Amino acid sequence: MINELLDKSLRCGHKHPQYAYIAPTYGQAKRVAWDILKEYTRNIPGVEYHEGELRMTIPRPWLQDKIKILLLGAETPDSIRGLYLDGVVFDEFADCDPRVWTTVVRAALSDRLGWAIFIGTPKGMNHLFDVLQVAKRNPGNEWFFSIFRASETNIVAASELEQARAIMSEDEYNQEFECDFSAALIGAFYGKEMMKAEKENRLTRVPYEQTVPVTTYWDLGINDSTAIWFMQCVGRGEWHAINYLENSGQSLDFYAKELKNLGYYYERHVLPHDARVRSFETGRTRVEVLEKLDIKPIDVLENHPVMDGINAARVVLSKVYFNVDTCQRGIDCLKNYQKKWDSKNKIYSNTPLHDWASNGADAFRYFALGREDKVNGRIIGGPRSTDLPRQAETDYDIFSV
């Protein structure tokens, strides 16, 4: 793929062409591709390397311009905004935050009519799988796809494959060597439940039922995203996820306006336990700020162990229908919510990996704990409380409105 970037850049007819190699993280981009990029360009006259920025330039004297190739990480999609791109390679796209493609890079390619290549190992039926389905539905000049299974390419010796199969689980082997998207994401908390939802056609189009009230379930971010699920209890214990909202760097005023603009009839809003904490700066809780913005009534969950919430989410997932038109980001979060790898003990721990998928999954966990079962009218989560501590342990302030 590095040589593909180089070849296309040298042939590009646009002035000052710009290309990018994007890995899941900036550090991974450096470890995987930087030395390779330098190796294959070291004999090009006038090439310059900018180590601090992971940027390389190649002069094109015949066109009186320069080629620029960037190595980037997908962990902060907004940092890539503002670039124009003639081409991009996504490496291990299944591990990338999918927003880097849909909300940032796709637009950056448009005015130059640029191209994109997605490579990687399957990690369940997540956004890499979704891109593959688009390619399958649109064959020809616009899209091309290829799958390289170890059993078919003969690149890896048969004896090596036999040894790998002997020490790996069937899902691990099929995912890593046979490009099997149906294998559940290794270490995923909700892999089997989300695959079941897909097979039962519960990832579909779910309309808003105007006669049924909506309850929102929030994960409140401080330095990262705030995520909100919009849920309706329809029929006997059946839940409809009709919408999902996630954003970062916004005040609570932004979310209050978004809720009002949707025009739903709200029954209540469920917040996590830390919504009761007061800010040193303002002396107010997030509950008080939201109530001032006319977001009410508000219920605050008690502080439950994380695994209790994950187990509750596993149970309720069998009863949830998701609106793919408005909840795709939240669906991706649930599919990619993973256990942290314990490198010391060589096992997956029960501690969740904190990455781009965490916020949406946490908000869904609060739904599982705080949902109200309309069949018998009881609250599934812990007791709700209005007891508000006076002061936070930290001096953050996200209450500007």
Q: Which of 4-8, 84-88, 187-191 has the lowest mean pLDDT?
A: 187-191
Q: Is residue 51 part of a domain?
A: yes
Domain final position from 120, 154, 179 = 120
Q: Above 90 in pLDDT, residue 185?
A: no
Q: What are the pLDDT digits (tens) for 129-181?
A: 889 989 998 888 789 999 999 999 999 999 999 999 999 988 889 889 999 88
Within a domain: 69: yes
Q: In percent, how much of the chain has pLDDT > 70?
A: 88
Q: What is the pLDDT of residues 191-240, one digit of tens each?
A: 889 989 988 999 999 999 999 999 999 999 866 689 999 999 997 779 99
Give me the pLDDT at residue 243, please. Answer: 98
pLDDT tops 80 at residue 186: no
Question: Is 248 among the domain residues?
Answer: yes
For residue 126, being part of any structural domain is answered with no
Shared domain for 224 and 367, answered yes or no, is yes
Do residue 114 and residue 212 come from a single domain? no
Mean pLDDT over the full length of the chain: 87
Contact 41, 33 (CB under 8 A): no
Q: Domain range for residue 354?
A: 203-379
Looking at the fold, whether 108 and 211 belong to one and the same domain comes out as no
- Which of 87, 62, 2, 72 minimizes the C-alpha distance to 38? 2
- Same domain for 105 and 252, yes or no, is no
Supply the CATH number for residue 229's domain.
3.30.420.280
My answer on whether 265 and 356 are in the same domain is yes
Q: Check residues 125 and 149 and name the one with the higher pLDDT.
A: 149
In a domain, 140, yes or no: no
| Distant-in-sequence, close-in-space partners of 158: CB < 8 Å, separation ≥ 6 | none
Predicted confidence at residue 172, as pLDDT, reads 84
pLDDT of residue 76: 85
Do 221 and 88 have their domain in common? no
- Are residue 227 and residue 327 in the same domain, yes or no? yes
Q: Which two tokens stand for residue 26?
A: 């900036």
Half-sphere exposure of 398 (CA within 13 A, CB side): 21
The verdict on whether omega for the bond into residue 272 sits within 30 degrees of 0, i.e. cis, is no
Q: What pLDDT score does 390 carry?
A: 33
At residue 278 the predicted structure's pLDDT band, cuts being 50, 70 and 90, is: confident
Residue with tokens 């009002």: 260
**Of 148, 95, 86, 140, which Cα lies nearest the Cα of 117?**
86
- Give 374-388 pLDDT, tens digit per residue: 544 444 444 343 333
396 has pLDDT over 70: no
182 domain residue, yes or no: no
- Residue at which a domain ends, from 77, 105, 120: 120
Asked if residue 210 and residue 89 are part of one domain, the reply reads no
Q: What is the CATH number of the domain that holds 10?
A: 3.40.50.300
Asked whether the beta carbons of 246 and 180 are under 8 A apart, the reply is no
pLDDT value of residue 276? 87
Does the structure show a pLDDT above 50 at 70?
yes
Task: Say if 183 falls within a structural domain.
Answer: no
Q: Both 112 and 207 in a single domain?
A: no
Look up residue 25 and give its two tokens.
């993280």
Tell me whether residue 300 is in a domain. yes
For residues 219 and 98, state if they share a domain: no
Domain boundary among 120, 142, 159: 120
Query: What percent of the chain is predicted at pLDDT more than 90?
Result: 66
Same domain, 237 and 348: yes
226 vs 219: CA distance, rounded Å: 6
User: Domain check: are 239 and 114 in the same one?
Assistant: no
Q: Which of 126, 391, 104, 337 is nearest to 227 (CA)?
A: 337
Q: What pLDDT, on the 0 to 100 scale, is given for residue 184?
A: 61
Q: How many domains does the chain have?
A: 2
Give the integer Cα–Cα distance in Å for 245 and 94: 22
